[in-house]
Amino acid sequence: MRSVYYGYVLLMTCIFVFIEPSASAQAGLRATTSPDAAVTYQINARHNGAIQTKGVYPPFAVKWSVNLNATVGYPLIAEDKVFVLAGDSNSRNVKLYALQASTGKKIWGPVLIPKGAYWWAAAAYDNGVVYVVPDSTPVFGSGAIYAYSAKTGKRIWRAHLPNQYLYDSPPTAGNGMVYTGGAGEGGTVYAVREKDGSVAWTGAVENGDNSSPIVTENGVYVSYVCPETYRFNPLNGKQIWNYQQEGCDGGGGATMALYGGLLYVRDTINYATNSIILDAANGNMVGGFNTTFIPAFLNDTAFYTESNALSAVDINTGKTNWTASPPSGDSYASPPIVVNAIVFVGTALGNVLAYKGKDGTVLATVAVGAPISAYDGGDYSSPLAGLSAAQGMVVVPASTYVVAIKHLK
């Protein structure tokens, strides 16, 4: 399943188009959570890595650091709490914690997540509940979503995800649903009701690996290798469109970002670039770009990151406004996030670099005390990592540490 087969080469010319989002698109999901919250992978349900939050400006310093003695995944930030999953390579267990946002003090946890075949898990937050998807679970012999009270850590319900055996799609919550994907025999996208864990609908996809659903009021978007990209109706699961590369099939996938009415799609094969841009309304291809990590956005600028370069590209013209490189001997090791027009990115040697989004000026280098590794390429050996930000701070998973970076007063 992991090998990829294809029968032709598609050459393309990169045309960069920016489509201003409609008023309804800008409104986003039905509001159940404060906008100053990090609720899933890459901060929000569009996975575009951008947030406005009061008080994040230089100079920066580490506010607190907590060692959970297990590899930490991407943080969720809400209710003045930081929620994290941590996976232990020795016990192969994954545990969920809630930390006090101001101090890092443990509020509740660890809550043991039912063990899967690996020790991967990912989470989402909405309306007072943390939803966790482990890679698989022996409870049902297939897959599950677990709902926990954000206040107490008590389990509220568990939902059975049928028909697949591998689950590595970080969940996204919205529209009263939790969305995720599963792989094994083909692939499945799931919509589970937040109120009780009942399955509202399922959608068939090619393979179903890795892609965390993008969720808006009028679309659920997922993408898999080649690419195989889909848009579903979020309430009934009806497929609205499917973009596919003919003659290509295989396992894999990567989370897309949605920004300005465009989908930034990765894990592509036989294109002039390793990523392409699709019109979210109809699935038509309108351009391409190169990146290793999922991009983040600020106004008319997309930030593309590879291990040795961070590029700020005008999404109207395709012009590169500025580029940056990591310090000598270091490399970029996380997707970028954009907080109050500042671009943050983590490095393999354990630094968080902050750049002025407008011109790339280095605003800060903050050492977090442990290596950062946050590639979303299908590694099931630990919870999926990545930087996050909300409620006046940037939170970094650095190996076994959870580190909060704040303005130095």
- DSSP result, 318-383: --EEEEE-PPTT--B-S--EEETTEEEEEBTTSEEEEEETTT--EEEEEE-SS------SS--SS-
Domain residue limits at 313 = 4-46+66-321
DSSP 3-state assignment of 26? Answer: helix
pLDDT of 368 above 60: yes
User: Does residue 176 form part of some domain?
Assistant: yes
What's the confidence (pLDDT) of residue 1? 35
**Could you read off the pLDDT of 128-166 as tens digits, one per residue?**
999 999 987 655 557 999 999 999 999 999 999 998 988
Q: Which residue in the block uniquely carries the two structure tokens 């997922």?
A: 222
Q: Which residue in the block uniquely carries the two structure tokens 């040795």?
A: 308
β-pair type (50-51, 337-339): parallel
User: Does residue 355 form part of some domain?
Assistant: no
pLDDT grade, residue 118 (50/70/90)?
confident
β-pair type (249-250, 4-5): antiparallel
What's the confidence (pLDDT) of residue 22? 35
Mean pLDDT over residues 172-187, rounded?
94
Residue 111 contacts by C-beta under 8 Å, 6 or more apart in sequence?
95, 96, 97, 148, 153, 155
User: Does residue 297 form part of some domain?
Assistant: yes
Buried b (16+ CB within 10 A) or exposed e, 352-389: bbbbebeebeebbebebebebbbebebebebbbbbbbb
- DSSP result, 124-148: EEETTEEEEEES-BTTTTBEEEEEE
Dist. CA 291–CA 162, nearest whole Å: 34
Q: What percent of the chain has pLDDT over 90?
A: 77
What's the confidence (pLDDT) of residue 26? 34
What's the confidence (pLDDT) of residue 73? 96
Dist. CA 110–CA 85, nearest whole Å: 9
User: Does residue 123 form part of some domain?
Assistant: yes
β-pair type (155-161, 172-174): unpaired
User: Does residue 398 form part of some domain?
Assistant: no
Q: Which of 25, 60, 51, 52 is nearest to 296 (CA)?
A: 51
User: Does residue 372 form part of some domain?
Assistant: no
Domain count, the chain: 1
User: Does residue 13 form part of some domain?
Assistant: yes
User: Does residue 24 form part of some domain?
Assistant: yes
Return mean pLDDT, the chain.
89
Distance of CA 353 to the CA centre of its chain: 20
Positive/negative CA dihedral, 42, 43, 45, 49? negative
Residue type, 157: W
**Could you read off the pLDDT of 334-358 as tens digits, one per residue?**
999 999 999 999 999 999 999 999 9
**Could you read off the pLDDT of 53-88 as tens digits, one per residue?**
999 999 999 999 999 999 999 999 999 999 999 998
**Could you read off the pLDDT of 390-407 as tens digits, one per residue?**
999 999 999 999 999 999
Mean pLDDT over residues 273-297, rounded?
96
What's the confidence (pLDDT) of residue 32? 61
pLDDT grade, residue 10 (50/70/90)?
very low
Cα–Cα distances (Å) from 140 to 145, 267, 375, in that order, read: 11, 31, 29
**Could you read off the pLDDT of 202-236 as tens digits, one per residue?**
999 988 888 999 999 999 999 999 999 999 999 99
CATH of the domain at 110: 2.130.10.10
Buried b (16+ CB within 10 A) or exposed e, 297-311: bbeebbbbbeeebbb
What's the confidence (pLDDT) of residue 253? 85
C-beta neighbour count of 142 within 10 angstroms: 18
What's the confidence (pLDDT) of residue 248? 82
What's the confidence (pLDDT) of residue 54? 94
